[in-house]
Amino acid sequence: MTTITSSKTAELKSFPPITDTVVWIKQVDWADVRQRCRAGVNNVGLVLAVTGEKIHDLGAWLAEV
């Protein structure tokens, strides 16, 4: 049975150090994230509007049948 040395223990950590996470978050281009989120919300709104219009058309057609 072998023992794990302290250098191997550092390699076996399952989570990165918190400083790496903080640096990664600071490097995020938040303006780009905001623009992508707005585009995504806009796309969802368009899909809902088109789906609602089609459901309305279906309801109007069913009312006339």
3-class DSSP state of 18: helix
| Percent of the chain whose predicted confidence (pLDDT) is above 70 | 77
Residue 47 lies in a domain: yes
- pLDDT, residue 51, reads 98
pLDDT digits (tens, 9 = 90+) for 26-42: 999 999 999 999 999 99
The number of folded domains in the chain is 1
In whole angstroms, what is the distance from residue 54 CA to residue 37 CA? Answer: 26
Domain boundaries, position 58:
6-64
Q: What's the helix, strand, coil split of the chain in %, to 5?
A: 75, 0, 25
Residue 1 lies in a domain: no
Residue 35 lies in a domain: yes
The answer, yes or no, to whether residue 9 has pLDDT greater than 70, is no
pTM above 0.75, yes or no: no
Beta carbons of 12 and 4 less than 8 angstroms apart: yes
